[in-house]
Structure 1
């Protein structure tokens, strides 16, 4: 099987999420769709069973590449994750403040256009890096790639649904196409640019922080009225798949 064609198909699937998430009408409901809570659970499972262990592996890479003490190298990796989390938290707060200000002044429940486009730009960076990692992952196995794809496609459904809800007019007109182009561009960049293991570790750590924040942002607020059992089911199902894959690999 040609791995390049497989990862290209996955990148196209990611792009399709950006383009067609607005057509998934069954997700647009209050209380929150159980499917979104399930997707959030899968993403949380990915965080704990893939992201955290892989961050530990990248800490070893940082230690070898920089000659730093093991504890300091590990701290550096997690600091990069914290930077990713803080950046996306800041963007989410900026969106919320912009919406509140515009609602108070104009009676429109929409953020200002420059703030929303700043959010789209940061999201484009994140999805481009996610697509880049399709071709450069710590776990190169077929099972590892499929688990990564499954977790990321569900994460993108959740994240894109939340982004579109902030300003559906701009998202549908132009924003979704920017995200789709960034995804395919990130995948293509992964074919022609092979970064060092340390640089890959930096990218992965930053992406990890962004994913953690977006998962928490979509699932935890009280006004989301999320469902615990679908969330738990998604997390447990993903955990079972990861543990099963590990057991088969060990056998």
Structure 2
């Protein structure tokens, strides 16, 4: 296991255990924090996730004879988005219209799904041997994404999240970390996993990290987008990421 993989895995675990300690308590500072984090996350989707999904689609089409179109992996990504949106929709509806006991039970389902999501994200990062400066920049974006998701789950049911939920999410990271180091899947399966979590990540970034109009601090959001995009695109240009 490389030191980069160890550091990223450990950092992702600690993020879920301490996510709400990392967020400023003051309203203005918190809005700026989420706006900047959202800017980084949106930039990450456009300068890394979508181009990487396109590259995976090209490789799969070249190496798998029965993939004859140019959109199979995009369809898998759409399924990932659809599945996570459906789960979240069921949970939100239950919170509004159901008895508290049923709503809390469905919240557990959401926690479990995000545990699996964390496992697949961690597996993809570790198994693709993201190293060095590349690991730092992608690790920051994914780490802030985890903070935003964890904070949103914490706001729904603070007691469940603090007592058990955060440990389920951290265990998902640990499981993906272990899989990435010890499980070797075929390139096609890895591409399908990447496509699935890409769709789910796009949904979660736009849903959890893109701040609503009344809570957004646009200058800070723009700084996050421009700074992360500029640095990442420069590194892509010079180091052929």
Same fold (TM over 0.5): yes
Deviation at 1:55, TM superposition (A): 0.7
2:93 corresponds in structure 1 to: 97
CA RMSD in angstroms, aligned pairs only: 2.3
Deviation at 1:4, TM superposition (A): 2.1
8 Å contact from structure 1 (residues 42, 238) kept in 2:
yes
Partner Cα separation in structure 2 for residue 126 and residue 5 of structure 1: 23
Partner Cα separation in structure 2 for residue 247 and residue 66 of structure 1: 29
Deviation at 1:120, TM superposition (A): 0.6
Matched, 1:122 2:113: yes
1:87 corresponds in structure 2 to: 83
With over 3 angstroms needed to count, the CA separation of the structure-2 counterparts of 1:51 and 1:29, relative to structure 1, is same
Aligned residues: 240
Q: What is the DSSP-based 3-state SS (H/G/I as helix, E as strand, rest coil) of the residue aligned with 1:135? A: helix
1:167 corresponds in structure 2 to: 157
Matched, 1:217 2:217: no
**CA offset digits 1:3-61 (Å, max 9, x no partner):** 52321221111111111112235157489621112111111111111111111111122
Matched, 1:46 2:44: yes
Deviation at 1:198, TM superposition (A): 1.1
Deviation at 1:237, TM superposition (A): 1.2
Partner Cα separation in structure 1 for residue 236 and residue 63 of structure 2: 28
Matched, 1:235 2:225: yes
Partner Cα separation in structure 2 for residue 23 and residue 132 of structure 1: 26
Alignment of 1:1-251 (within 5 A): 4-24=2-22, 26=24, 29=27, 33-68=31-66, 70=68, 72=69, 74-102=70-98, 112-137=103-128, 140-220=130-210, 222=212, 225-249=215-239
Unaligned runs of 5+ in 2: none
8 Å contact from structure 1 (residues 88, 210) kept in 2:
yes
Partner Cα separation in structure 2 for residue 68 and residue 79 of structure 1: 15
Deviation at 1:126, TM superposition (A): 0.9
